[in-house]
Amino acid sequence: MNPLVRPARLAPGARVAIVAPAGPVAEDRLQAGLDILRGWDLDPVVAPHVLATHPEFGYLAGHDADRAADLQNAWCDPAVDAVLCARGGYGAQRMVDLLDWTAMRAAGPKVFVGFSDVTVLHTAIATRLGLVTLYGPAAAGVDFVKSERAREHLRATLFDPESVRVIHAAPGGRALVPGRARGVTLGGCLSLIGSDLGTPHAGRPARGGLLMLEDVGEQPYRIDRMLTQLLRSGWLDGVAGIALGSWDRCGPYERLRPLLADRLGALGVPVVEEFGFGHCPDALTLPLGVGAELDAESGRLTLTEPALS
| Catalytic residue positions, numbered | 116, 214, 279
CA distances from 95 to 91, 113, 181, 255, 297 (A): 7, 17, 35, 35, 40
> What angle is formed at CA 133 by the lines to CA 127 and CA 137, rounded to 5 degrees?
135
Q: CA 168: distance to chain centroid? A: 17
Q: How many CA atoms lie within 13 A of 198 on its CB side?
A: 5
End-to-end CA distance of the chain: 20
Cα Rg for the chain, rounded, in angstroms? 18
Distance CA 152, CA 40 (A): 10
The 10 Å CB-count burial string (b at 16+, else e) for 222-231 is: bbbebbebbe
Distance CA 204, CA 291 (A): 16
Strand order in the sheet with 82-85: 43-46, 15-19, 82-85, 111-114, 133-135, 286-288
